[in-house]
A = this chain, B = another copy of it.
Amino acid sequence: MQIEDIGEFGLIEDLARLLPEGEGVEEGIGDDAAVLAGRRRDSYLLLATDTIAESVHFRRRAAGRRVGRKALAVNLSDIAAMGGLPLWAVVNLGLPAGTPVRYCREIYRGMAELAEEFSLSVVGGDTFRSPGGIVISVTVAGEVEKKRCVLRSGARPGDVICLTGLLGDPPRDKHLDFTPRIREARFLGESTPPTAMIDLSDGLFADLARLCRASGVGAVIGESSLPVLDSVRRRGTAAVIRTAGKGEEFELLACLPPPAAESLCLELEAALGTPLTPIGRIVADPGRLELIDRRGTPRPLPDSGYQHFR
């Protein structure tokens, strides 16, 4: 068996099974960040980690500043999905011999700018020689109030499934420039914290399926409710599905209790300018993952997320 046969989660969950849960570990592996004993009685420490690699997640023709920004942003997106705030980051930067120092400085500048925007500090790191292209691993430590901490596993039948932002044909390399949805997640946490949340790194269908698996529930979403660009919608069902299934959108998928959901969507857009769109409902049957297309026909949810090892 080779590595093509096994996805990200399989491998990391394997590791989890090898290990007993230790002191101070509040929630196990499988969420966007580990939930650990915090600085205060009423808060958790969060640890998120993610890597971007040249010619897998970006190409060298992309400006270093955008690449550095993305390396940090993907981690902030994970902290957002837990309802938390980022505090500190450490960086491992792998560089092939011959990388221009100017390019490295640009990577740092991009990270520094985003770190400043979200008031976190880059507190350490390491560089190493990387034979196969630039590799940037970032780990972010953050914090979340216990009552605001959102896991993937809390969705309940009847919850309204909501999605931030607008999915669409991205301008070239848009995935490098996204703004992690920290503010949006914090806004939701202030009044009615979501019952479950996940960020879309592998595409709407793959990540929704993941959230449902963690919560032991199903989901029914509507094609006509999906927040896609008009230009995509005009091209029909296949285009909408292809767009929604694409990875690297980094929007937040949040499950909201039904009484509050509708007003929260309006309030969030009014406060932050980010659309929050109800796209469907959580259902009790864990085997039911459905998309109702524009003709009203239910079809199984396409599971067309990003495949790491293709």
Chain B: CB-nearest residue to A119: B22
Contact with B along A125-143 (1 / 0, CB 8 A): 1111111110101010100
Q: Chain A at the B interface: mostly helix, strand, loop or mixed?
A: mixed
Complex contact B132–A34 (CB within 8 A): no
Residues from chain B with Cβ under 8 Å of A18 in the complex: 108-109, 112
Complex contact B15–A122 (CB within 8 A): yes
Q: Which of B37, B120, B129 contacts A56 (CB 8 A)?
A: B129
Interface residues of A in 75-108 (CB under 8 A from B): 87-88, 90-102, 104-105, 108
**Selected interface stretch from A3-11, A205-213, A229-237:** A3-11
Complex contact A124–B33 (CB within 8 A): yes
Complex contact B51–A101 (CB within 8 A): no
Complex contact A128–B53 (CB within 8 A): yes
A171 at the interface (CB under 8 A from B): no
Contact A128/B92 with A2-B100, A5-B101 known, Cβ cut-off 8 Å: no
Complex contact B14–A108 (CB within 8 A): yes
> Considering residues A57, A90, A109, which has the most beta carbons from chain B within 10 angstroms of its beta carbon?
A90
Contact A2/B132 with A126-B51, A137-B92, A141-B36 known, Cβ cut-off 8 Å: no
Complex contact B100–A3 (CB within 8 A): yes
Q: Which of B11, B21, B31, B111 contacts A15 (CB 8 A)?
A: B111
A55 at the interface (CB under 8 A from B): yes
Complex contact A2–B34 (CB within 8 A): no
A270 at the interface (CB under 8 A from B): no
Q: Which of B6, B47, B310 contacts A88 (CB 8 A)?
A: B47
A12 at the interface (CB under 8 A from B): yes
Query: CA–CA, A227 to B130, complex, Å?
Result: 33
Residues from chain B with Cβ under 8 Å of A100 in the complex: 1-3
Query: CA–CA, A57 to B147, complex, Å?
Result: 43
Complex contact A99–B14 (CB within 8 A): no
Complex contact A6–B101 (CB within 8 A): yes
Chain B: CB-nearest residue to A132: B132
Complex contact B121–A25 (CB within 8 A): yes
Query: CA–CA, A135 to B8, complex, Å?
Result: 15
A21 to chain B, nearest CB (A): 6
A residues bordering B, Cβ < 8 Å?
A: 1-6, 8, 11-12, 14-16, 18-25, 28-29, 31, 33-34, 36-39, 45, 47-57, 87-88, 90-102, 104-105, 108-109, 111-112, 115-116, 119-133, 135, 137, 139, 141, 308-310
Known: A2-B98, A51-B94, A97-B310. 19 other contacts (CB 8 A): A1-B100, A1-B101, A2-B100, A3-B95, A3-B104, A8-B127, A11-B104, A19-B116, A34-B90, A34-B124, A47-B90, A47-B139, A49-B139, A51-B128, A53-B128, A53-B135, A55-B131, A127-B308, A131-B132
